[in-house]
Chains A and B, each alone.
Chain A
Amino acid sequence: MKRKSLSACLLVLSLLLLGTVGIGASGSQEKDVASEKGGPIEITFWSLFTGGDGEFFDAMVDEFNRTHDDIVMTTDTVKFDNYYTKLTTALTSQNAPDVVVIHRSKLLNYVPSGTLYPLDDVLKSVNAPMDDFIPAALEPCTFDGKIYSLPLDVHALIMYYNKDLFRQAGIDKVPVTYEEFVATAKKVQDKTGAMGAAIDNTTATYKAYTLTRLFMSFMEQQGGSVLTEDLSAADFNNEMGEKALQALVDMVHKYGITESGLDYDSSVAAFKLGKAAIHINGVWATGSFEKQEGLDFAAVPLPAMLGKPAAWSGSHTLAIPAKKEMSNEKLAAAVEFMLWMTERGDLWAKAGHIPIRKSVSDNPNFQSLPHRKDYAAAAASSFAAPRTVAWDEIYNNLSDSLELAVASGQDVKTALAEMEKMVNSIIASY
């Protein structure tokens, strides 16, 4: 008898063990049902903002919850490195939260497979002020005439400079051309001993993406692009590419205005501590530089060093995963949250991001923030990453190759030929 009850116990235990897997998977659905039975509608969200902008984002969510009685937004912070892995698997297993953040350059990985909900109908039903969005920001979220996500911001590559160091070196003009940029950096370096230009050029805990972003910007500034218009091949193995890469290599090897082997954290730290005159990075660094006491800096759009103004940019966009069951109320609530977030771009701009709604740019709350309007113009001349599913792999490999070229002072023709071969074979593999 005793043994029988023991084995029964074991059986129950093993069933329970197996059961947890199923329960875990169905948990979110149960919550959905509960919220529809009355009380505020609960929307779930994963935030990938773990850098300096995370606290600003959380503050916005708090503000949203404070001002909305009928909707409760709950967020879960996910480490950025794993975000897309987690998101993709969650989308396949229908476990994704109600609203997700997707970078503009990543949309193409999700839209064609039907994993995102087309928003046009919902937007129309809530009379969303679509005219208020900057068309250049909204256009990349549109596929075959349908809007799949709402842009939250534009984050472009900009130039920061230390006003104190400029003053000490007797410089009163912000450099515009490549020659002026080099001369300025060199002059500050010689007169103050600080690093001329802190531009990360090696991978440490973070990949040297600034190099890639600069290379792309330099191509665009000359009227070129890294890929051909039909996105079927590399388009940098030419005179423009040579000029762009040579400009990057020369900064380290010919002019010595930045050190070789500088990683992202060091370049940010050097500028933050007032040990570097110029720093090139995305707008997202602004918020944390402002918190640094004794740092007197300015931020301007990336100079048109090799021709016309152009700067690499990214964009965070908000989308709704296409789930099997999602009530209309819930959809409307999710869209309301998304619209509210874009409407309060002035709060998001505190982190450094550039708002994408015209009404926000004119808003005194935004206007009164320091630095932002100095570089807000960067949005106008910014360009997006090529729209191909192969982009991630190209971007990462391009970054490695550029790093090698800059670190070893490689001959640019050889480097570009190798890079072209690599990029073309990546495109062929998709």
Chain B
Amino acid sequence: MAIPGNKDTRDGVLFSLPFVLIYLFLLVFPIIFGLCISFYKWDILSSRKFIGLGNYISLFKDKTFYTSLWHTFQFVFMTTPILMVAGFLMALFVNSKSLLRGAGENIFFIPYVLSITVIGTLWAWLFQKNYGLFNQLFMLLGHAKVGWLTDPQKAMWSVSAATIWWTAGFNMILFSAGMKQISAEVYESARIDGAGYFRILKDITIPLLRPTIVLCLLLQIIASFKVFGQVFVMTGGGPYGKTRVLIQYIYENGFTYFKMGYSSAMAYVLFLLIMVISVVYYKIMGRDK
């Protein structure tokens, strides 16, 4: 209810105006523009040529599109479960009574603050086959060199390892916040009833943390689908395109070969895919709530 004399509507509009304008200009407009150019053949410098669904049709015939999409899925499957479990365990640790919990919180979260270029370059050095730290240690121990980033069987795992080190701290923050919201009385009464640590974890912490878990998993899946920076910096998509993910292929088409239309079409396919997965996931998880 509006209070007489107050101009809530006017002030409301005015307050949200800066955000709305920037939102329209930097988000809504590019999204619509992107959809439009996906029907064109356009190299930015020359004029656009309308080709209807041409880009979408050639996309479904493009072998590299499928392999890149498959590599993206591989990455999602490799990182998501580990990141969830790692984030959860870290959160348990920083919410425990351990004396190291403060230090732990910082150590776990600090990597997340660093930029992807820093992380990528750092891990690329560590993983370097001939001169990297890991292989130097391996060789001291009498092992043969391992092609962490140059062996197609291992390259994606290596990128995943770096990603886990980098982003697990973010999940920890989400889980940790969720754990802090569970009231102390619930725990107290459980303890009075004689429940042990694992019983409490299984029957109290995890069930009560359910909304956080649902949200965290959704954010994680979306984030993993959008993987690009790590791969780009660490392996460049190699060896021979075995770690090329979809966003990298979109980037290459758009900004290296300047096939803007084709690139947008692929971006829209990825967008639809993420949307479908998110909606289906949310419907399933929300049903028994």
Binding site for B on A (CB under 8 A): 3, 7, 10-11, 13-14, 17-18, 21, 84-85, 88-89, 91-92, 109-110, 112-113, 115, 202-208, 261-263, 265-266, 269-270, 389, 392-393, 396, 400-401, 403-404, 407, 429
Which A residues are in CB contact (< 8 Å) with B128? 204, 263, 265-266
Contact sample, A vs B, 5 pairs, CB 8 Å cutoff:
A113-B45, A203-B235, A261-B151, A400-B240, A401-B240
Which A residues are in CB contact (< 8 Å) with B256? 84-85, 392-393, 396
Would you call A205 and B233 a contact (CB within 8 A)? yes
Which A residues are in CB contact (< 8 Å) with B46? 112-113
Tell me if B74 counts as interface (CB < 8 A to partner A): no
- Other-chain residue from B10, B45, B130 in contact with A88 (beta carbon distance below 8 A): B45
Would you call B18 and A392 a contact (CB within 8 A)? no
Q: Mark B228-259, 1 if CB is under 8 A from A, else 0.
A: 00000111111111000000000010011111
Would you call A393 and B257 a contact (CB within 8 A)? yes
Instruction: Give 10 closest A-B pairs by Cβ, nearest first.
Output: A203-B238, A14-B18, A113-B45, A404-B240, A266-B130, A85-B255, A403-B240, A261-B150, A400-B241, A202-B150
Tell me the minimal C-beta distance from B123 to chain A in angstroms: 11
Tell me if B226 counts as interface (CB < 8 A to partner A): no
- Other-chain residue from A13, A207, A269, A404 in contact with B130 (beta carbon distance below 8 A): A269
Considering the chains assembled together, what is the distance between the CA atoms of A202 and B241 in angstroms? 10
Tell me the minimal C-beta distance from B74 to chain A in angstroms: 18
- Other-chain residue from B21, B233, B252 in contact with A14 (beta carbon distance below 8 A): B21
Would you call B129 and A263 a contact (CB within 8 A)? yes
Considering the chains assembled together, what is the distance between the CA atoms of A265 and B235 in angstroms? 13
Instruction: Tell me how many residue pairs across A and B have CB atoms closer than 8 Å.
Output: 111
Would you call B236 and A205 a contact (CB within 8 A)? yes
Considering the chains assembled together, what is the distance between the CA atoms of A205 and B256 in angstroms? 17
Tell me if B277 counts as interface (CB < 8 A to partner A): no
- Other-chain residue from A13, A204, A265, A269 in contact with B238 (beta carbon distance below 8 A): A204
Would you call A109 and B14 a contact (CB within 8 A)? no
- Other-chain residue from B17, B18, B45, B147 in contact with A110 (beta carbon distance below 8 A): B45
Starting from the known contacts A206-B236, A207-B238, 6 additional A-B residue pairs (CB-CB under 8 Å) come to: A203-B238, A205-B234, A207-B236, A261-B150, A400-B238, A404-B240
Given A14-B18, A88-B258, A112-B46, A270:B130 Cβ within 8 A? yes
Which B residues are in CB contact (< 8 Å) with A392? 256-257
Would you call A203 and B45 a contact (CB within 8 A)? no
Given A92-B44, A266-B129, A204:B240 Cβ within 8 A? no
Given A7-B11, A265-B128, A17:B18 Cβ within 8 A? yes
Considering the chains assembled together, what is the distance between the CA atoms of A205 and B238 in angstroms? 9
Tell me if B124 counts as interface (CB < 8 A to partner A): yes
Considering the chains assembled together, what is the distance between the CA atoms of A188 and B160 in angstroms? 40
Which A residues are in CB contact (< 8 Å) with B149? 204
Would you call B234 and A203 a contact (CB within 8 A)? no
Would you call A203 and B131 a contact (CB within 8 A)? no
Tell me if B198 counts as interface (CB < 8 A to partner A): no
Which B residues are in CB contact (< 8 Å) with A208? 238
Interface residues of B in 254-273 (CB under 8 A from A): 255-259, 262
- Other-chain residue from B43, B129, B236 in contact with A261 (beta carbon distance below 8 A): B129
Tell me if B58 counts as interface (CB < 8 A to partner A): yes
Considering the chains assembled together, what is the distance between the CA atoms of A23 and B252 in angstroms? 31
Would you call B124 and A13 a contact (CB within 8 A)? no
Would you call A261 and B147 a contact (CB within 8 A)? yes
Tell me if B85 counts as interface (CB < 8 A to partner A): no
Considering the chains assembled together, what is the distance between the CA atoms of A203 and B129 in angstroms? 12
- Other-chain residue from B44, B239, B257, B262 in contact with A202 (beta carbon distance below 8 A): B239
Tell me if B197 counts as interface (CB < 8 A to partner A): no
Tell me the minimal C-beta distance from B191 to chain A in angstroms: 52
Which B residues are in CB contact (< 8 Å) with A429? 58, 259, 262
Would you call A203 and B14 a contact (CB within 8 A)? no
Tell me the minimal C-beta distance from B48 to chain A in angstroms: 12
Considering the chains assembled together, what is the distance between the CA atoms of A207 and B240 in angstroms? 9
Considering the chains assembled together, what is the distance between the CA atoms of A401 and B64 in angstroms? 12
Tell me the minimal C-beta distance from B4 to chain A in angstroms: 15
Tell me the minimal C-beta distance from A370 to chain B in angstroms: 28
Closest A residue by C-beta to B120: A205
Considering the chains assembled together, what is the distance between the CA atoms of A115 and B149 in angstroms? 40
Considering the chains assembled together, what is the distance between the CA atoms of A286 and B262 in angstroms? 40
Closest A residue by C-beta to B234: A205
Which A residues are in CB contact (< 8 Å) with B240? 202-203, 400-401, 403-404, 407
Would you call A204 and B236 a contact (CB within 8 A)? yes
Given A203-B235, A266-B130, A270-B130, A88:B44 Cβ within 8 A? yes
Tell me the minimal C-beta distance from B117 to chain A in angstroms: 9
Considering the chains assembled together, what is the distance between the CA atoms of A202 and B150 in angstroms? 7
Would you call B14 and A10 a contact (CB within 8 A)? yes
Which B residues are in CB contact (< 8 Å) with A21? 25
Would you call A203 and B44 a contact (CB within 8 A)? no
Considering the chains assembled together, what is the distance between the CA atoms of A263 and B237 in angstroms? 13
Tell me the minimal C-beta distance from B18 to chain A in angstroms: 4
Tell me the minimal C-beta distance from A400 to chain B in angstroms: 5
Which B residues are in CB contact (< 8 Å) with A113? 43, 45-46
Tell me the minimal C-beta distance from A110 to chain B in angstroms: 7
Given A3-B11, A404-B240, A263:B150 Cβ within 8 A? yes
Which A residues are in CB contact (< 8 Å) with B21? 14, 18
Considering the chains assembled together, what is the distance between the CA atoms of A204 and B120 in angstroms? 12
